[in-house]
Amino acid sequence: MKRTSWFNVTSLTLGFAFLYLPMIILVIYSFNESRLVTVWAGFSTKWYGELFRDQEFLDAAWVTLKVAVFSSTLATVLGTLAAYVLVRAGRFHGRTLFSGMIYAPLVMPEVITGLSLLLLFIGIGLDRGVFTIVLAHTTFSMCYVSVVVSSRLATFDRALEEAALDLGCSAFDAFRLVTLPIIAPAVISGWLLAFTLSLDDLVIASFTTGPSATTLPIKIFSAVRLGVSPQINALSTLLIAIVTIGVVTASIITKRAAVAQARDEQAAARTA
Amino acid sequence: MAQTVFAPWTEADQKPLIEFRNVTKRFGEFTAIDDLSLKIYEKEFFALLGPSGCGKTTMMRMLAGFETVTEGNILLAEQDINDVPPNKRPVNMMFQSYALFPHLSIWENIAFGLRREGRDKAFIDTRVEEMLRLTRLTRFAKRKPHQISGGQRQRVALARSLAKAPKLLLLDEPLGALDRKLREETQFELMDIQEKTGTTFVIVTHDQEEAMTVASRIAVMDEGRLVQVDTPGQIYEAPNSVYVADFIGDVNLFPGKARARPEDTQIAAAAPDQPVSDQPVPDQAAADQTATAPMAEPAPSPTATPPEGPTVARLPAPDAKGDWLYDKIFRRFLGDRTTAPRRLPPPNAEELAAPKPEPAATAQPAEPAIKPGGIFIDWAEGQPPIIAAGGDPAMDGREVTYSIRPEKVTIDTVRPDRPNVYEGKVIDIAYLGNISTYHVELAGGRMVKAQMVNARRLANRPITWEDTVWVGFTETAGVVLEE
């Protein structure tokens, strides 16, 4: 039984504990009866009820959702176009520079991105609020989308587009009717990525927000500064649940599609 | 045969469907197509054949509109199409990867082009059904491309590109992804469909068998230029260069020097005494027959298995065994093999009759059965020259290459009575079932391939490895090429 040696089991346990123990503790304490975060006083869901009665939290959740939907949609459109141009335009002068600039925000410190956007918004006299957060989130999540989509486009058979042109499509029709449906899974996962990035961003949002718009991460952060309340635990547990359900659903869909395809291909090989 | 032969390229008043006029295509510094002119006629099945990188795919992509022309013009039905984008050309293409749209069903794939044309639904329905029937895909109409086999995908690609009834269909290595048996079937299907629809097909391929099978004409390409444009038969039997001869099929090439052969047989016959008596004619009766059977025959020579064949064949055997013995054992003690013949017993009558590496051997053409004229080709020191009746005496003194197909070379265990005969040893036998190719090493080390149809079953074939054999061919069997 080499495969389940004590060393392997121990390192696996420790690794997963390191990753997930904090979250598990957070989830457990969200069901705590006591107001004190560190003292267990019995099971209760009352903090979830309190959370949904708290108008401030609900407002923040609504702002966050709006920002995430708008910014990820905008980022997906722009990121997909950027990826398409990068992969399809061939070698033009300054291509390396251009693709480098697309990817630079990935490694740029968020503080810098946030600060520079803040200075820009002040400079052009834009009132800070939901709109400015959407713009800021679009800027930084767009490059994630373009990375995801361009890696799909790189393996995309160019002949498919040529076939569409050959059969009478204009370039735009070829993209709309052939390219886009085929790369759709990558575009959707790019959108999901942008959406989650926007959901949990604190740094850039706090630089670019105004008094009118408070997102959930900002709300949590400021609430924690006044002391951790069980409400925050409940809110975080809900966020974890949403993200988990999203990820699990996405992976099940992908896996099912792959299995179905493999089965179809086997069936085709048999009838051949 | 009252049937009219399809050969529009021979008629001067025929208008070409496609014309390349001095077309050049450069990619940066690299010239892919070099000042190329070509006419393709309606209803032709035209093959562009060449190794990868010869420019054949570039030509096809220029026809489809995916590549622009650097210089020159391409005309389709006498209209310049240089500036027409691919979606506006009455040309469709079948892609090498088939490029079927994976998110659409077979039916939708075929209907795709018709929908872009804005045809009404009834028309699309009938046309797609027609295409499905033509390619025998009706029962797969609702499936997606990944749910059908490779051969079926190939037919979908064909149906899709034919659906718009293009003036010209381009096929880019259409059968490359299919296995051999399916490929052969599909070749005939393609020809059948081409005939039924009357569409002009231009096919790009590197597979010469495929090109020979399907095409009405073949253009052999090399480095962006057309080397030869001709019918499959002409390309095979009358290649215009060593490149074409070597690229199409299997070939024996003898580079050598041309020498004019006396036009008048009388002159040659006037001084027959010495050389003719020197002529190695083991069977006088066979010599008389040569007058009636001098033509190139791909079939095995009837002398290959005469009743007394085995006994005669065994005569030189001790030498071969001696050689083998020497190679295996005595070389260690006695050193280099060149000294060996002196140690062997004196030659027998058969060997005395063998051609001597003498300059006098040039008198060989005195043989009256051989067509007069043509040229000799001196191709190796100590070997009689090749007699090539097709050679132009004006080539006298020039470097030429004699090209002869293996199936036109006979192989015998006794010296046959043919104009060109050389002795050699069987080194390799490639047994392909229906035919066998013998690799024979001549004195001096040149390898010659001779092909024989295996009309008899294995046990009856007399020639095997290490045998001493005679390869022969007629004076008209090969082609003289100049580079």
In this predicted structure, the answer to whether residue B344 has a pLDDT above a threshold of 90 is: no
Q: Domain extents for chain B?
A: 8-250, 255-311+353-481
Residues in CB range of B178: below 8 A, 6 or more apart:
B150, B151, B154, B186
Q: How many residues can be counted in chain B?
A: 483
Q: What is the pLDDT of residues A56-106, one digit of tens each?
A: 888 998 999 999 999 999 999 999 998 988 888 767 777 788 878 888 888
User: Which of A152, A155, A157, A167 to mutate to test binding with chain B, by most B CBs within 10 Å of its CB?
Assistant: A167
Q: Which residue among B92, B148, B150 sits closest to A166, beta carbon to beta carbon?
A: B92
In this predicted structure, the answer to whether residue B471 has a pLDDT above a threshold of 50 is: yes
**What burial class does residue A194 get, using C-beta atoms within 10 Å of its C-beta: 0-12 exposed, 13-18 middle, 19+ buried?**
buried
CB contact under 8 A, A182 and B103: yes
Closest CA to B66 of B42, B93, B39: B93
Tokens of B300: 């095995």
Residue B275: predicted pLDDT:
40
Contact residues of B toward A, CB < 8 A: 64-66, 85-87, 91-93, 95-97, 99, 101-103, 112-113, 116-117, 144, 146-152, 160-161, 164
Mean pLDDT, chain A, whole residue set: 86
Q: What is the pLDDT of residues B373-421, one digit of tens each?
A: 788 888 888 888 898 888 888 888 889 999 999 999 999 888 888 889 9
Cα–Cα distance measured from residue B422 to residue B441, given in angstroms and rounded to the nearest whole number: 10
State mean pLDDT over B143-156: 90
Q: What is the pLDDT of residues B191-208, one digit of tens each?
A: 998 998 889 999 999 888
Q: What angle do CA B137, B143, B144 make, to 5 degrees?
A: 115
CB contact under 8 A, B113 and A165: no
Closest CA to B390 of B293, B473, B479: B479
Q: Which residue among B87, B146, B150 sits closest to A165, beta carbon to beta carbon?
A: B87
Q: How confident is the model at residue A29 (pLDDT cuts 50, 70, 90)?
A: confident
CB contact under 8 A, A162 and B99: yes
Q: What is the residue-wise DSSP string for B85-133? A: -GGGSSEEEE-TT----TTS-HHHHHHHHHHHTT--HHHHHHHHHHHHH
In this predicted structure, the answer to whether residue A248 has a pLDDT above a threshold of 60 is: yes
Q: How far is A252 from chain B (nearest CA, A)?
A: 20
CB contact under 8 A, B86 and A178: no
In this predicted structure, the answer to whether residue B97 has a pLDDT above a threshold of 50 is: yes
Q: How confident is the model at residue A169 (pLDDT cuts 50, 70, 90)?
A: very high
Q: How confident is the model at residue B422 (pLDDT cuts 50, 70, 90)?
A: very high
Cα–Cα distance measured from residue B306 to residue B302, given in angstroms and rounded to the nearest whole number: 7
Which one has a higher pLDDT value, B332 or B448?
A: B448
CATH code linked to domain B255-311+353-481 = 2.40.50.100
CATH code linked to domain B8-250 = 3.40.50.300
| C-alpha distances in Å from residue A78, one per residue of A116, A144, A151, A168, A176 | 20, 11, 16, 27, 15
Pairing of strands B225-230, B79-80: unpaired
Q: Which residue among A159, A168, A268 sits closest to B116, beta carbon to beta carbon?
A: A168
- Nearest chain B alpha carbon to A258: B146
CATH fold, domain A46-271, is MetI-like fold (1.10.3720)
CB contact under 8 A, B95 and A269: no
Residues of B in contact with A263 (CB under 8 A): none
Query: What is the ipTM for the molecules in this complex?
Result: 0.75
Residue B35: predicted pLDDT:
92
Percent of chain A with pLDDT over 90: 31
Q: How confident is the model at residue B282 (pLDDT cuts 50, 70, 90)?
A: very low
Residues of B in contact with A265 (CB under 8 A): 146-147
Q: How confident is the model at residue B180 (pLDDT cuts 50, 70, 90)?
A: confident
In this predicted structure, the answer to whether residue B431 has a pLDDT above a threshold of 70 is: yes
Q: How confident is the model at residue B345 (pLDDT cuts 50, 70, 90)?
A: low
Residue B454: predicted pLDDT:
83
